[in-house]
Amino acid sequence: MGVEKGFWNKLSVPTVGMAPMDGVTDAACRWIAKRHGQADVVYTEFVSAEGLWRINKRQEFDHKIWKELRFSKEESPVVVQLFGSDPKSFYDATMIVGKMGFDGIDINMGCPSPGLEKSGGGAGLIRVPECAGNVVAEVRRAVGDLGLNLPVSVKTRIGSSVPEPDWWDFLASLELPVVAMHGRTFKQLYSGEADWEVLSEAARVIRKSGALFLANGDVKGVKIDGREWKAKLNSGKEVSGEPFDGVLVGRNVVGNPWVLRKDGLVPNLKQRLEVAVEQARAYEKLFPGDKFFPVRKHLAGFVSGVENAGELRRKLVMTNSADEVEKVVKELNIL
């Protein structure tokens, strides 16, 4: 049986996706990333495989995990990301999320949270490839038992304490449709710069297996020039896209979905604020009755880099509803 690539095969190159971010990439954020950033693909926040099957078994239908799994077809293609270390839990979790209509399932092998890493989940799976392989096998088995053809992908880092070519070889042996890789080791957490030299070495190994390779870390956009493309990095460097199939953008998307676009559109302040209000409204619609504060970090992002916006930013991060956001914005007399 060939590798199930599903929707991944239909995406254009460079593929520009929004990286999963816990506490950030909720359904409203993803909808905006699609609508204004034209994201090729979006991921859910990571969801605990073990937590999911447990709350399902206990019928805790008001648990916050269900909120993290809410999505609309307009975000499509949307990939659900699971984390954990126990292959059996991944099987049970896949039996639940597999039926929910996601376009793919991704396994987190890169989260640097020390507790999770220590217990063998997230980036901890890099240290125990045998377990990582069993996790992939169990997710695939569940997908098969559900009679589905969902692609099962992996998002990881370049290594645990140093870049690890053995890890890349191992990933290549798994016949994955896609590997997304953050150019830092577990040990680096988020310090220093993502190493794009190492990412290109890893991409060469992994793409030989037929997998697509999405590079990640410090990307603030892509630049397309005829048939060639480059990734623009925070450092100001522009890296040739040639060794990769695309990129995932994380932190730079917060309040700035336009970084995902390939047409170079840069919005003016009025457009940014209109979309800030739109995201706040979408959040309230998707999560009625929920606390508003998760929206605030996005609101700050929408005015980041804007000159003399200190006062505006201070007001935005104190808001408690979409109506309040709109009121603050209207006071500026630019909408």
Ligand X SMILES: Cc1cc2nc3c(=O)[nH]c(=O)nc-3n(C[C@H](O)[C@H](O)[C@H](O)COP(=O)(O)O)c2cc1C
Rg (CA), the chain: 20
104 lies in the site for ligand X, by CB under 6 A: no
Give, rounded to a whole angstrom, the gap between the first and last alpha carbons of the chain: 55
Q: Are 206 and 243 in contact (CB under 8 A)?
A: no
Q: Are 99 and 146 in contact (CB under 8 A)?
A: yes
CB of 25 to ligand X, least distance (A): 8
68 lies in the site for ligand X, by CB under 6 A: no
19 lies in the site for ligand X, by CB under 6 A: yes
199 or 328: whose CB is closer to ligand X? Answer: 199
21 lies in the site for ligand X, by CB under 6 A: yes
20 lies in the site for ligand X, by CB under 6 A: yes
Q: Which residue has the tokens 């070519």?
A: 165
Q: x/- string (CB under 6 A) for ligand X, residues 143-172?
A: ------------x-----------------
CB of 191 to ligand X, least distance (A): 12
**Which positions ≥6 away from 145 have C-beta within 8 Å?**
95
CB of 323 to ligand X, least distance (A): 27
15 lies in the site for ligand X, by CB under 6 A: no
Residue among 25, 42, 4 nearest 294 (CA): 25
CB of 334 to ligand X, least distance (A): 30
Q: Which stretch, 66-74, 126-134, 162-170, 249-257, contacts ligand X (CB under 6 A)?
A: 249-257
CB of 59 to ligand X, least distance (A): 25
CB of 311 to ligand X, least distance (A): 26
119 or 149: whose CB is closer to ligand X? Answer: 119
84 lies in the site for ligand X, by CB under 6 A: no
Judged by CB under 6 A, the chain residues 107 through 126 that form the site for ligand X are 108, 110-111
Strands 246-249 and 15-18: parallel
Please report the DSSP string for 277-325 in residue order. HHHHHHHHHHSTTS-SHHHHHHHHHHTTT-TT-HHHHHHHTT--SHHHH
Write out 67-100 in H/E/C secondary structure: HHCCCCHHHCCEEEEEECCCHHHHHHHHHHHHHH
Q: How far apart are CA 222 and CA 230, in angstroms?
A: 6
CB of 20 to ligand X, least distance (A): 4
218 lies in the site for ligand X, by CB under 6 A: yes
The binding site for ligand X (CB under 6 A) comprises 19-24, 45-46, 81, 108, 110-111, 155, 182, 216-219, 249-252
